[in-house]
Amino acid sequence: MPVIVALLAANASADEVVIWHSWRGDEKASLEQAAQTWADRTHNTVSLLDIPFGAFDSKVETAIPRGNGPDLFVAGHGNLGKWTAMGIVDPLPQAVPGQMPASTAAVTVDGKVWGAPLAVKSVVLLYDPTRVTVPPKTTDELFRQAHELQGDGYGVLVQVDQPYFHGPWMHAFGGALFDAQGRLSLDTDAQIQALAFARRLAVDEGVVPPQPTSELLTRLYREGQAPFVISGPWFVAELDRPIAAAPLPVVSEAGAHAKPFLTVDAAFVADQAKHPEAARDLAAFLAGTEGATIRQEVGRQAVSALDVTSDDPLLQVLAEQARTSVPLPTHPDVQSAFEAQARALRDVIRGAATPEAAAHAAQQYAAILSRPPPPPADPRPWMALLALLIPVAGYLGLRGSGGVGRLAERVVRHRWDYAWIAPAVIALSALVVAPLIAGATVSLFEHDEGHWSFVGAANFLNLLLARDFPVTSALSFWFKLVVTLVWTAANVALHVGLGIALALALREPWIRMRAGFRALLVIPWAVPNYITALVWKGMFHAQYGAVNAVLGALTLSDGPAHIDWFGSFLTAFTANLVTNTWLGFPFMMVVTLGALQGIPRELEEAAEVDGASWWFRFRHVVWPMLAPALLPAVVLGSVWTFNMFNVVFLVSQGEPNSTTEILVSEAYRWAFTRGNRYGLAAAYAVLVFAVLLIYTRFTDRLLADRTGRRPA
């Protein structure tokens, strides 16, 4: 009996610690094994939830402040500055002993230690051991060996246009994203020299593939088309061929070692954790010797614990590189700095700007993105206005319906009719009206590091009056509106033109297998548009895309055409336009085919007998009867195109320098990639709704005039 009581007491006192993480594969298995070892020892239970990497930050930042988060979460330290400002992490009583100094520094903000370091990750020099005998010690030697060994492929595989991979050269020249006072530092002499080196690496030496994506680099190395790769341990995990590692070389021009960014995966105790003490104990165990040993052996991690060593050559190199790496900044404006530096890198690489001009433009751009939100406004006038509008709207509604008595009479007379449509009204209100009101309300507020403040109409005034950017800037609301209108008009014109032409052709009886052609031409519309967008994105690749290959064959060139489709506004816009035209013409073709079934062919034959030309018959016989059926489809297609987020986001990604963004994709940027400016993004959404509302009212009147009905 005492034993049973003791067991019941132990179970009652056991804690269930919930962990969120985004690790995959062996890393996930190592975390599960280490957590289970701790749970068995402490008689607690551990529940692990793996969240997709892309959604992890937003999930943490929305769930924890509302008390719906985990006890412990494992993540990179890059967002720690924002998380501490938002109050979603609790500091540890003291630093976990026996850790790399750089890893402890990475999780320290304002003199407090906020996490238990687990693993370190950085960029290193990877190479093919079957082709490289001695890895290079300097960049000049790297370029020499790359030229000697690249053959018909490439010498160095690196995402040279990404700020994270630009970090080693920036730090070697003495540059940094922020100075000692935390101010943006993107236009210094060191930054200019680093941009010039990036141009040399990406273009002048001719050893790096154009438009280098992570998928392309992995494929090229698997095919043995490059001896060197500048990447991290995540690259090795995807390979099935030999690869070795060495520390990054000395940058010859700078006379200093390349110093990559250091990312520290750490365990953070969440604010409002249900079991904070157990979570801190588990974090310390995971970072300690036993937990680090499990993660190193099972997950092949370069752990931050100093007393845990490995015989794995890659892990040894990662540990050595970590000693000279620079921890990724935890500054709240690091996203803005990265976006600005990425623009500078792309401009320099494509030759659109000199390193000096690109650096100065990056400084200005980052300063604009990191501007503080509008000052708080007094909500009382707005509440008074709302209190006035509600009774006025109610009075006008009652007056329009004939008064209270007449309204009550109608409700009683049609009570069963209202009961039948009530479910639809409730569903429509919950799914459409409520989100619309919520979005409009958010546009009157501003979000800054987890804190909301009422700013009134400031977001709308900033957009409409172009306070933050000149009207001609690619970030201006008016610039985006013009691009969106041109985008919509061009797409709808092509959709309608191709749809009508194909429908007219497919109705001809002399065409064989018309049913088969109709089915084939509907396929682009049936395939999910994000899949189509990704396929076309690959087809427009400068080096390996099918579009350039076809153009090269048509022009009898030696190899593919040399067109950087995302290097200028015109070509990037064209790439988006071609993709969306492919997606949209089947809808117009199907609508036109249906409308043509109701047009008697005898009318056209009679006109032909009278000597009318093909164009005359189409214009004066077919089109007048086709237009009433086609106009509603045009209205619907234009609304779809106006908000076609997937194509712009996935194909051109707004390149170059956000010039091909449309209003809806720009709203996404402000909400999720530019400091979580939810209020500004909501203001964009409200303005998009206003533009479409005006457009639909105009087209409704146009259709009413053509059909003779009263406008809705």
What is the value of pTM for the model shown?
0.86
Q: What is the pLDDT of residue 10?
A: 41
113 DSSP assignment? E
Name residue 448's beta-bridge partners: 451
Are β-strands 115-122 and 261-270 bridged in parallel, bridged antiparallel, or unpaired? antiparallel
CB 171 within 8 A of CB 257: no
Sequence-distant (6+) residues with CB within 8 A of 559 are 552
Sequence-distant (6+) residues with CB within 8 A of 96 are 104, 113, 116, 117, 283, 284, 287, 288
Q: What is the pLDDT of residue 431?
A: 87
Name residue 454's beta-bridge partners: 445
Q: What is the pLDDT of residue 707?
A: 58
CB 686 within 8 A of CB 439: yes
Nearest to 328 by CA among 374, 263, 373: 263
Alpha-carbon gap, residue 244 to 233, rounded angstroms? 11
CB 79 within 8 A of CB 22: no
Q: What is the pLDDT of residue 12?
A: 41
The predicted-structure confidence for 427-485, as pLDDT tens digits, reads as follows: 988 888 888 888 889 999 998 877 889 999 999 999 999 888 888 888 899 999 999 99
Q: What is the pLDDT of residue 2?
A: 40
Alpha-carbon gap, residue 430 to 433, rounded angstroms? 6
Nearest to 73 by CA among 265, 263, 261, 298: 265
The dotted CATH code for 477-707 is 1.10.3720.10
Alpha-carbon gap, residue 410 to 638, rounded angstroms? 38
Alpha-carbon gap, residue 123 to 623, rounded angstroms? 62
Helix (H) or strand (E) holding 699: helix 678-707
Q: How many residues does the chain have?
A: 712
- H-state helical runs in 350-455: 355-369, 380-400, 404-413, 415-428, 434-442
The dotted CATH code for 124-259+333-369 is 3.40.190.10
The predicted-structure confidence for 535-579, as pLDDT tens digits, reads as follows: 999 999 988 889 999 999 888 788 888 899 998 999 999 999 999
CATH 3.40.50.10300 fits 2-120+263-325, yes or no: no
From the CB of residue 146, how many other CB atoms can be counted at a distance below 10 Å?
23
Name residue 138's beta-bridge partners: 250
Alpha-carbon gap, residue 429 to 437, rounded angstroms? 10
Q: What is the pLDDT of residue 408?
A: 76
Ranges in the chain, pLDDT < 50: 1-12
Amino acid at 102: A
Q: Do domains 2-120+263-325 and 477-707 have the same CATH topology?
A: no
Q: What is the pLDDT of residue 490?
A: 96
Are β-strands 45-50 and 16-21 bridged in parallel, bridged antiparallel, or unpaired? parallel
CB 108 within 8 A of CB 330: no
Q: Where along the chain do its domains lie?
A: 2-120+263-325, 124-259+333-369, 477-707
Q: What is the pLDDT of residue 395?
A: 67
Give 472-526 as a DSSP string: TSTTSHHHHHHHHHHHHHHHHHHHHHHHHHHHHHHT-TTSTTHHHHHHHHHHHHH
